[in-house]
Structure 1
Amino acid sequence: MGYCEDIREMIGDSPLIIVRPSVAIINYKEEIFLSQNVDGIWTIPGGTLQLNESVEECITRIVFENIGINIKALKLFGVYSGQELINRVDERYHTVAIGYLCTEYEGEITPESNQGIEAGFFRFNQ
């Protein structure tokens, strides 16, 4: 189990604050990387912070695990929280979202088959 699941076991149904870094990866053509999940929702890479991990380490790990590239540099875009980030499916989770931009990475994107049904770079007007 991960950190959030371990805490959930201890606190039951009480609200839990989770930290969720995400990254907009932009290629040299100024296209953004998006993946479509099994629910049909298009997203940028992101995940949940684990114990003893910095947010930068977290997003770097998530990106490598899910799409196979190494992040070389991150630029903070913004930090978001509040009512609009309470999980709509399970209101026991309140999110602090930390957004990054990345234009420096290496490797070839190879999405994990269980992470999405389609992925790639798209023009912003798509």
Structure 2
Amino acid sequence: MGCGCRGGSVALTWAESYLGKVRASVGDTDTIFFVGARTVLFDDQGRLLLIQRSDNHRWAIPAGAMELGESMEDCAVRELWEETGLKATSLTPYAFYTAYTYTNEFRHTYQQVLMTFVVHEWEGELLRQTEESVDAGFFALDALPGPKSFVIEEALSDLDEFRATGRLVMK
């Protein structure tokens, strides 16, 4: 698997994705693992890249579930590309989350296993709308749009901790 920026694959639909297949097999009520990656990307003016998700219209950092055969880094690169049209060319993992259980607006419950990456370099032109986002842009930290995903503040706080200590944040 991969993003259109690696090997020409196209994005999968929810039903075609590994997570979609597992959810369909298990049903809506059981808790399953969500293994995936997030990216935090700042432009040269220190503004944070956010997308407005097409499913719930919340502003969020680009993120999504791993597909079979991907590494967490490949997942982060693919999800950023699918949601923004930007391809990460240099990124560093800084936080790893395994202790969170989350129920989404579809009443699906997941135990999350997520790696968050900070993107240092990227290429491409920002797409404001994709199949997964209805808007996207770079925002000053003191002027983030809402409604916001609850993970933004934690991701930024954990990045500050990583930069201060040089150690992977694990929760």
State TM-score, norm by structure 2.
0.65
How many residues are matched? Answer: 125
CA distance in 1, matches of 2:76, 2:32: 20
* 2:52 aligned partner: 36
Stretches of structure 2 lacking an aligned partner (at least 5 in a row): 1-15, 144-171
State TM-score, norm by structure 1.
0.86
CA distance in 1, matches of 2:133, 2:79: 14
State which drifts further: 66-75 or 110-119: 110-119
* Alpha-carbon spacing, 1:94–1:40, altered in 2? closer, same or farther (3 Å): same
Q: Structure with the greater relative contact order (CA < 8 A, sep ≥ 6): 1 or 2?
A: 1
Q: Deviations over 1:29-87 (max 9, x none)?
A: 1111011224331101011001111011111111122211111111112011224x322
Q: What is the aligned-residue identity percentage?
A: 24
Letter in 1 for 2:111: H
State which drifts further: 7-16 or 19-28: 7-16
Q: 2:79 aligns with which of 47, 51, 62?
A: 62
Q: 2:110 aligns with which of 90, 93, 102?
A: 93
The alpha-carbon deviation at position 88 of structure 1 amounts to 4.1
Q: CA RMSD in A?
A: 1.9
* Alpha-carbon spacing, 1:115–1:7, altered in 2? closer, same or farther (3 Å): closer
Q: Is the 8 A contact 2:31 2:109 kept in 1?
A: yes
Letter in 2 for 1:72: T
CA distance in 1, matches of 2:53, 2:24: 27
The alpha-carbon deviation at position 116 of structure 1 amounts to 2.3
